[in-house]
Chains A and B, each alone.
Chain A
């Protein structure tokens, strides 16, 4: 058994072994094979590439069979790993044949490519397959999805996620934009910005605690310690158990996310507002446009791209939100969202299939945003 260990020693030593830890041996095989291609003389490189592909494939398949035997898990996912490993070898090997930059390219790109393939691409594909299995690991078709769209609790989770992803980007962007306009070119603009931007640096867990304290509830006969309930009392109302009364508790959690994200919207939009050409604003002013018209007809079109960026970024962050719900209600009282439910199902209830199905739904919800962003990226590349 290991000693509890001094933390400092516990993490310094494994740092040396990081490389060895990342590459399981099939990947080591892939690495050696590709490196071999790069440093061989041109004449035999082409044929060496083929051999390297085969070596990599064999390494991946053999190791997967070994793991498979020890794990009693369904066969059929490992070919994905083999394909992933092969594609890395294949793609890089292909480049290696074609120009003189190939050697440095391999050195510079290989570590990141390996890590992403093993740590992200392969697991994501595997999750997609896991979504069609039950808790024993056997294939069960679309049962997990049927469960998701028929159980009342699961439906509430999906509904909450939709409410989140509509309200959070909308409120954050509107408030952030209004604030950015209000403080534009005022004295003390930097301090104004800092105050609203600060929650960005605070962890979701920290924010959760801060707002749990804001929402804290005491019986009507006691003094309140939570500011929100105290304000209710000051206005002659009864104090409420804000985090327990559905559906308002979801709204209370959404406020926390808005509180965090508004600063982001504000900073980006503020910079964008400063980029709107002054000549246009002056021209509008000379034409007799009032401040609101100037804002709606000149400023707003001028910051359109930034607005899109802000809304998509916040939408993605909102879809993945987990920590706030976990810290404040743990998903109880009808407040759960997909990301939280995914964690609960996969790591608490022992239903990895359901968790994977929820993750897959999350991915499908993010997909349109991916496609849109890739299109924007390609347009920008074309301009550049």
Chain B
């Protein structure tokens, strides 16, 4: 995204020199005044928006006894930092501590397939909607679009029943046949995330893919390329920016999700993601701030890395989604 637009200087295009001088001078003063207040307001908003996160980050590095007795702002008069909180929440072997290391792995194991599965299915479907002419295509597309806004709460209870009826026996049989596969698996969570991510993914990718110039695709067709070749050789490379930005979205969404995890994962260290463990900690031991602050930051590391590293794609995906829908 370009942030600086090319602005023609208003002072260059005055009608008469005198009038221009007068207006521009008063204008300049007025603009400076308003912009001064505006800048102040902007700084205040930016501060209010940043301080909560900053306070928590600073706290997570303070010794436990200090967190619970004094505010993090006293750090500036009495600076003391430690990594103990992190080593405790991540690696401690005592049963009462959070041991977030395992949950961190679970979160990754949920988020990566939870991103890839809907992405693959959606790009296939988006291509079909955009470039394969068939009757009822637009009706079907509107239906998919409408599904996007069905709250996922509507699907939870029956979906869980479906999983229990069909998937569970299958998983149990599998783990009995192959002993080293755990009976509790991520399969239900992956499928749930794929289902809930699909409508939006199809919609966004369709918007992008349908705007690829038709000459490109027709040229390929003339050369004898089939749908498969067009999809892999032309659509996928050209749609990479859109795919990347949606991938970031879906990844963040899955990583940050709590509801799907609560309903479809078991809540044990086998399959529960970080968010679930953290929500538990916040509820049951709301006063153990040294664990909560460090734990919260462990869960924030990946999304913040993704955010700062891939910000451009993130913003682009956001704009693609909102400018159209």
Chain A residues proximal to chain B, CB less than 8 Å: 1-5, 7-11, 13-15, 17-18, 20-22, 24, 67, 71, 91, 94-95, 98-99, 101-102, 104-105, 107-109, 111-113, 115-116, 118-124, 126-128, 130, 175, 178-179, 181-183, 185-186, 189-190, 192, 194-206, 208-214, 216, 222-227, 230, 259, 262-264, 267-268, 271-272, 274, 278, 282, 285, 290-291, 306, 309-310, 313, 316, 319-320, 322-323, 326-328, 330, 339, 342-343, 346-347, 352, 355-356, 358-360, 362-363, 366, 369-370, 373-374, 376-378, 380-381
Cβ–Cβ contact A212 & B5, under 8 A: no
> Which residues of the partner chain B approach A378 to less than 8 Å between Cβ atoms?
142
Fill in one digit per residue for B201-243: 1 if any A CB lies within 8 Å of its CB, else 0.
Answer: 0100000000000000000000000111001000000000000
Of the four ranges (under 10, 10 to 19, 20 to 34, 35 or more), the interface on chain B belongs to: 35 or more
Q: A7-B106, A363-B150 are in contact. Are A225 and B289 (CB under 8 A)?
A: yes
Cβ–Cβ contact B191 & A373, under 8 A: no
> Which residues of the partner chain B approach A179 to less than 8 Å between Cβ atoms?
41-42, 45-46
Q: A11-B185, A119-B191, A213-B59 are in contact. Are A328 and B51 (CB under 8 A)?
A: no
- Kindly provide the distance from the CB of A204 to the nearest chain B CB, expressed in whole angstroms: 7
A268 nearest CB neighbor, chain B only: B322
B153 nearest CB neighbor, chain A only: A359
B41 nearest CB neighbor, chain A only: A182
Specify which of B134, B304, B318 is in contact with A105 (CB 8 Å cutoff). B134
Cβ–Cβ contact B304 & A18, under 8 A: no
- Kindly provide the distance from the CB of B146 to the nearest chain A CB, expressed in whole angstroms: 6
- Kindly provide the distance from the CB of B234 to the nearest chain A CB, expressed in whole angstroms: 14
Cβ–Cβ contact B282 & A21, under 8 A: no
Cβ–Cβ contact A268 & B292, under 8 A: no
Cβ–Cβ contact A226 & B71, under 8 A: yes
Cβ–Cβ contact B227 & A175, under 8 A: no
> Which residues of the partner chain B approach A175 to less than 8 Å between Cβ atoms?
45
- Kindly provide the distance from the CB of B115 to the nearest chain A CB, expressed in whole angstroms: 13
A326 and B275 CA atoms in complex are apart in Å by 11
Q: A216-B289, A278-B7, A313-B322 are in contact. Are A359 and B262 (CB under 8 A)?
A: no
A118 and B194 CA atoms in complex are apart in Å by 12
Q: A120-B150, A199-B53, A227-B55 are in contact. Are A186 and B128 (CB under 8 A)?
A: no
Q: Does B70 contact A (CB under 8 A)?
A: yes
A-binding segment of B76-84, B88-96, B252-260: B252-260
Within 8 A of A (CB), among B135-174: 135-136, 138, 140, 142, 144-147, 149-159, 162, 165-167, 170-171, 174
Cβ–Cβ contact A17 & B289, under 8 A: no
Q: Does B22 contact A (CB under 8 A)?
A: no
Cβ–Cβ contact A104 & B153, under 8 A: no
Specify which of B50, B166, B296 is in contact with A209 (CB 8 Å cutoff). B296
Q: A122-B158, A123-B162, A203-B275 are in contact. Are A14 and B289 (CB under 8 A)?
A: no
Cβ–Cβ contact A227 & B154, under 8 A: no
Known: A9-B180, A112-B198, A373-B149. 6 other contacts (CB 8 A): A2-B175, A127-B155, A222-B69, A267-B318, A322-B153, A380-B324
A74 and B263 CA atoms in complex are apart in Å by 23
> Which residues of the partner chain A approach B198 to less than 8 Å between Cβ atoms?
112, 115-116, 120
Cβ–Cβ contact B151 & A210, under 8 A: no
Cβ–Cβ contact A323 & B259, under 8 A: yes
> Which residues of the partner chain B approach A272 to less than 8 Å between Cβ atoms?
323
- Kindly provide the distance from the CB of A301 to the nearest chain B CB, expressed in whole angstroms: 17
> Which residues of the partner chain B approach A309 to less than 8 Å between Cβ atoms?
322-323, 325
Cβ–Cβ contact A211 & B113, under 8 A: no
Cβ–Cβ contact B279 & A323, under 8 A: yes
A328 and B59 CA atoms in complex are apart in Å by 19
A226 and B170 CA atoms in complex are apart in Å by 49
Q: A192-B46, A194-B311, A322-B258 are in contact. Are A363 and B154 (CB under 8 A)?
A: yes
Fill in one digit per residue for B113-141: 1 if any A CB lies within 8 Å of its CB, else 0.
Answer: 10001000110110111001111101010
Specify which of B270, B275, B323 is in contact with A5 (CB 8 Å cutoff). B270
> Which residues of the partner chain B approach A195 to less than 8 Å between Cβ atoms?
46, 49-50
Cβ–Cβ contact B159 & A13, under 8 A: no
Cβ–Cβ contact B42 & A108, under 8 A: no
B37 nearest CB neighbor, chain A only: A182
Q: Does B247 contact A (CB under 8 A)?
A: no
> Which residues of the partner chain A approach B324 to less than 8 Å between Cβ atoms?
380
Most A-side CB within 10 Å, residue of B150, B170, B191, B308:
B150
Cβ–Cβ contact A104 & B228, under 8 A: yes
Cβ–Cβ contact A202 & B304, under 8 A: yes
A380 and B286 CA atoms in complex are apart in Å by 49
B295 nearest CB neighbor, chain A only: A209
